Amino acid sequence: MLQNDNKPTRYKAIGYVSHGGGFPLVEFEREVPTPKDDELLIKVIGSSLNPLEFKLADLNFFGNQPPVALGFDVSGVVIAVGSKVDAFEPGDAVVAMADCNGHGGWAATGGGGYAVVRQFLAAKKPETVSFSEAGALPVCFLAAFLGLYDHVKPGDVVYIPGGGGGVGHLAIQIAARALGASLVISSGSTEESKALLAASGAGAVIDYKTEDATARVRTLTAGRGADVVFDPTYNEDSYVNSAHAVRDGGTWIVLGVGPGRTTRTKVTYSPVDEILSGKGAAHINANVLTYFSNGYTFDEATKAYFRMAMEASMRWHIEGKVRPKISKEIRSSVEEINAGLSELKRASGVYGKIAVNVAHP
């Protein structure tokens, strides 16, 4: 293993310490981890908040042994690499996603955190991309990329309801600026969210509180419907409405486990599959967490796909195609992270991403 030797052996991480009901988060002392053969150890400088963190703390649905450090979005500097790592070395500035069924990189000390990441879930960070912006991308970018990359063709009309969130505003940019959609339609309700949709590349913005979104999509497509619908809302009413908005023979993509499963504690009836079947439309789930559960083993093709996605996050950023909207930047403290996650949990007007400065003074 290659490494820089100027690192402590322990630090104060932020995460959960029980098998359920672990939110609000707490700080706890943790050993600085050692990377395995295919892993990098990163001194974490930037990160961001995701709903995944409070959901894991509340339900521990991967069955990890607490205490568990959170903060899966990672940007920082490599300080050690495993014996099989061939694309990175100590001193490289990187962006990465820590394994969702492992540990993240938030720390309570202000001097930075520590996370191990697999080589294929990392990319080198260009100097022109800040640690703050890089740390706001991985989880949400990968979710949007997984949902759209293999499904949107140049010239397609794409509908992304509720596009003002962390995944949604990146998905709009990917479809409109990187994949060549002829029109991206999205929806919001506040002036702030609608402004973000337009700035992200939505050619048509629907106010879902005052307009019939499905009817508007059909009007914008001369009655045909959208070629591709990507629904990142985690809302059953939205799923039903957006399923009606896809064209016959089109593609309906949902973020996460999908209709009837908007919570992990119960399954309810959803008419979405019947709606899609009547249209001959495809139903696809874009669920990054699938790759970190149920003993999933990454084959070489999947590793190459994730590596390509991580590299695209940086390439498209420097090309000006896909950049995160940071609505707020907070310090990496238990108090500020809990407050920010509580905002996400309430869905209380958070647009874009809340960045976390892990290495603040």
DSSP 90-148: TT-EEEEE--TTS----BSSSS-EEEEEEGGGEEEPPTTS-HHHHHTSHHHHHHHHHHH
Please measure the distance between the N-terminal and C-terminal CA atoms of the chain and give it in whole angstroms.
Answer: 30
Residue 53, pLDDT score: 96
Cα R_g (the chain), whole angstroms: 20
Residue 265, pLDDT score: 75
Q: Which stretches within 39-130 are classed as H helix?
A: 51-59
Residue 49, pLDDT score: 98
Rounded distance between C-alpha atoms, residue 16 and residue 248, angstroms: 46
Residue 106, pLDDT score: 98
Rounded distance between C-alpha atoms, residue 29 and residue 325, angstroms: 32
CB 186 within 8 A of CB 159: yes
Of 326, 331, 328, the C-alpha closest to 357 is: 331
Q: Please give the backbone phi and psi of residue 153, each rounded to the nearest 5 degrees, phi first.
A: -105, 155
Question: Which stretches does DSSP call E strand in 1-59?
Answer: 2-3, 10-16, 26-31, 39-48
pLDDT digits (tens, 9 = 90+) for 253-266: 999 989 998 877 78
CB 84 within 8 A of CB 90: no
Q: Are domains 2-137+296-357 and 141-290 of this chain identical in fold?
A: no
Q: Look at residue 240 and give its three-state secondary structure.
A: helix
Rounded distance between C-alpha atoms, residue 99 and residue 135, angstroms: 15
Residue 118, pLDDT score: 97
- Ordered by start, the domain boundaries in the chain are 2-137+296-357, 141-290
List % helix, strand, coil for the chain (3-state, nearest 5): 30, 25, 40
In tens digits, what is the pLDDT along the chain, a chain of 361 residues? 666 556 789 999 999 999 999 999 999 999 999 999 999 999 999 999 999 999 999 999 999 999 999 999 999 999 999 999 999 999 999 999 998 888 999 999 889 999 999 999 999 999 999 999 999 999 999 999 999 999 999 999 999 999 999 999 999 999 999 999 999 999 999 999 999 999 999 999 999 999 999 999 999 999 999 999 999 999 999 999 999 999 999 999 999 989 998 877 788 999 999 999 999 999 999 999 999 887 788 999 999 999 999 999 999 999 999 999 999 999 999 999 999 999 999 987 789 999 999 998 7
* C-alpha angle 166-151-94 in degrees, rounded to nearest 5: 45
CATH ID of 2-137+296-357, from 3.90.180.10, 3.40.50.10320, 1.10.3720.10, 3.40.50.2300: 3.90.180.10
CA distances, 129 to each of 106, 269, 357 (Å): 20, 44, 15
Residue 4, pLDDT score: 59
Tokens of 234: 């985690």
pLDDT digits (tens, 9 = 90+) for 190-211: 999 999 999 999 999 999 999 9
CB 106 within 8 A of CB 68: no
Residue 42, pLDDT score: 97
Sequence-separated (6 or more) residues with CB below 8 Å from residue 246: 159, 225, 226, 227, 228, 229, 252, 276, 279, 281
Q: Is 352 left (phi over 0), alpha (psi -120 to 50) or beta?
A: left
Sign of CA pseudo-dihedral 189, 193, 194, 200:
negative
Of 156, 149, 161, the C-alpha closest to 188 is: 161
Residue 239, pLDDT score: 97
Rounded distance between C-alpha atoms, residue 172 and residue 151, angstroms: 14
The CB density around residue 303, as the number of other CB atoms within 10 Å, is 15
Sequence-separated (6 or more) residues with CB below 8 Å from residue 318: 126, 128, 129
Identify whether 66 is preceded by a cis peptide bond (ω within 30 of 0): no
Sign of CA pseudo-dihedral 123, 62, 353, 74:
negative
Amino acid at 15: G
Q: Which stretches within the chain are classed as H helix?
A: 51-59, 131-135, 138-148, 166-173, 191-200, 213-220, 236-245, 272-279, 300-318, 334-346
Q: Is the domain covering 141-290 a CATH 3.40.50.720 domain?
A: yes
Rounded distance between C-alpha atoms, residue 301 and residue 142, angstroms: 16
